[in-house]
Amino acid sequence: MTKLESSSDLEKLRKQIVSKRDPKRLCITVCSGTGCQASGCEKVSAAFQEELKNQKLSDKVEVRRTGCHGFCEKGPIVILHPEEICYLQVKPKDASEVVSQTLKEGKIIDRLLYTDPTTGKRIAHESDIPFYKNQKRLILDNNRKIDPKNIDDYIALNGYSALAKALSGISPEQVLEEVKKANLRGRGGAGFPAGRKWETTRNAPGEIKYVIVNCDEGDPGAYMDRSLMEGNPHLVIEGLIIGAYAIGSHEGFIYVRQEYPLAVENTELSIKQAEEYGLLGKNILGSGFDFKITIHRGAGAFVSGESSALMSAIEGKVGEPRPKYVHSSVKGVWDRPSNLNNVETWATVPFIINNGADWFTSIGTEGSKGTKIFSLVGKVSNTGLVEVSMGMTLRDIIEKIGGGIPNGKKFKAVQTGGPSGGCIPEKLLDFPVDFDELSKAGSMMGSGGMIVMDEDTCMVDTAKYFANFLADESCGKCVPCREGLKQICRKLGAISNGKGTEDDIKDLEDLAEVLRDASLCSLGQTAANPVLSTIRHFRDEYEAHIRGACPAKVCKSLVTYYIDPEKCLACGLCLKNCSVGAISGKKGIIHIIDQEKCIKCDTCFDVCPEKFNAVTKISGEPVPKAVPQGTEIKKKKR
């Protein structure tokens, strides 16, 4: 690779790459994000390569592994270019059919297309699928087009043009002004204006300044940062270099969780490639600006995602937060001014520089501009990563993009903002996604996890889940968080075991207040949100637990398993699968659960065939008396 000496060199290179590529060339792209890898995409791309070799097409057709497409529910996703035919849930054994039918004969295989669940219509192009049609894919869009391991793919799609624009002719102050004007708010959770943060670091005293990418995505159920870092690392790197230029920093860190090995691998490779082209290092594009990036792998601590904790982890110390009398943008890593932003925030910067702040502010709401990526997961038909304009309502996201709740169940709540956020009930679903509006609903934007819950989810159990998670992840440095969370867990445990009292709810609210006001960092300050929001919107469920019933039939202590003698056909499935031998019965004889032995593992409920539905869960009602041992089943006409 030759070093690029100027912006025109980059343009020349871009033209050269594009001219070499025939847009009409046949190409098979296989999504290789972690979701699709879990669904076996590696085997699929290997099968395609093998098949092309067998059919002697290897030199005519290219197989490319791309970043995450977002529609993880239907992975592995395969796209055939140039027609862009989209096949979903492709298996290795489908490869030969796809090559011989679609590639050679131009025939579309209906079975592999997306089927609209309402109309039953088959859809051949990704952009026409409702999941994608209702999104505004700005930042995620290139993920599906490029091979993250190949910098040329990124450059071909106008990559690093924003950097070239910034370095050749725009002053750092102007870049900063543009970002401030765009009102870009931090995508990591709190929504602090990025431009103002940059300005603080820029104006802070000290020659050496750092810029940091926070990819310590710890929120369970959120994985957009990983998909960007894995699927389009150069976009984040480009944003980081532009930010460093505006701030006057010459050294940057990318903090990635070690649980994201693919993200680490792709980022390392991208940095190397960018260095080889002279897009990183000394005198970038002949501008005289120097910048280098180091990757720091996180070692697994949720609290390390907090800015001051992350910086102390970069120093090689324990990732514990510190009081912020002085902001880390003034005194951060090694007490030097350090500007930290989330992956998505950095990835938005090149778009703002290329298209201008006015364009950016035309997207979104009054207070929140641009787009936001959410990971729409849980009890929703189309699980995946979705990117929408700020201001779209939660209802539209869940129903139009997510396809609603599967299996005809009823929606109960959507949890946003991870462990710091809250649960939003049905009546508030018309709230728009916007930093300020979500706070009003008692939740927060957070990093963008959106976990949908249906009637089978217990809200007390959910609150308990988050409280336990946070108690486990609390670093223990400050008393309110360490001890307060422990007490919250204890109270919630008692309620979910049916041993709670009305006073416990009051106590939970009091504890929550102390946590919010007295904790050292935002982990503790926001830790009570899941508890408070569930009490606020689902108080009836708490009260039901106190009376001894779990309405969603989740809390073990309050649930009894019972076989309906009217429905049991003595198939023996539950009996065979019961690991503690609590079920008695035999062929023709109604099965009975021995409540003394039952450990409530849910297996019998799980294996009882849907057409019988004989195993039921009972909560808060008396359990009917079991039929005498040896009662024969009623012969039913089927």
Query: What is the distance between the alpha carbons of residues 402 and 379, in angstroms, rounded to a whole number?
Result: 10
Other Cβ atoms less than 10 A from the Cβ of 514: the count is 17
* 69 or 545: CB nearest another protein: 69
* 65 or 226: CB nearest another protein: 226
Query: What is the distance between the alpha carbons of residues 311 and 332, in angstroms, rounded to a whole number?
Result: 6
* 315 or 517: CB nearest another protein: 315
Query: What is the distance between the alpha carbons of residues 181 and 162, in angstroms, rounded to a whole number?
Result: 17
* 468 or 584: CB nearest another protein: 468
In the structure encoding, which two tokens stand for residue 540, read together? 């009836």
* 191 or 419: CB nearest another protein: 419
Q: What 3 state SS string does 6-48 have?
A: CHHHHHHHHHHHHHHCCCCCCEEEEECCHHHHHCCHHHHHHHH
Q: How far is the CB of 455 from another protein (least distance, A)?
A: 11
Q: How far is the CB of 227 from another protein (least distance, A)?
A: 8
Q: How far is the CB of 161 from another protein (least distance, A)?
A: 30
- The binding site for another protein (CB under 8 A) comprises 34-35, 37-39, 72-73, 75, 218-223, 226, 258-260, 296-302, 304, 313-320, 375, 377-379, 383-384, 415, 418, 449, 451, 453, 457, 462, 465-466, 469, 475, 577, 579, 601-603, 606-607
Q: How far is the CB of 492 from another protein (least distance, A)?
A: 14
Other Cβ atoms less than 10 A from the Cβ of 448: the count is 29
Q: How far is the CB of 472 from another protein (least distance, A)?
A: 9
Beta strand 122-123 pairing with 85-87 = unpaired
Q: How far is the CB of 62 from another protein (least distance, A)?
A: 27
Q: How far is the CB of 15 from another protein (least distance, A)?
A: 37
Amino acid in the structure at residue 396: D
- Beta strands of 192-349 (E only): which ranges? 210-215, 251-257, 292-298, 338-342
* 431 or 465: CB nearest another protein: 465
If we measure between CA atoms, which residue out of 629, 305, 250 comes closest to residue 446? Answer: 305
The answer to whether residues 187 and 449 touch, using CB atoms and an 8 Å cutoff, is no
Query: What is the distance between the alpha carbons of residues 281 and 274, in angstroms, rounded to a whole number?
Result: 9
* 219 or 238: CB nearest another protein: 219
Q: How far is the CB of 521 from another protein (least distance, A)?
A: 15
* 117 or 588: CB nearest another protein: 117
The answer to whether residues 102 and 80 touch, using CB atoms and an 8 Å cutoff, is yes
For residue 433, what are the CA distances in angstroms to 397, 428, 440, 481? Answer: 9, 11, 11, 29
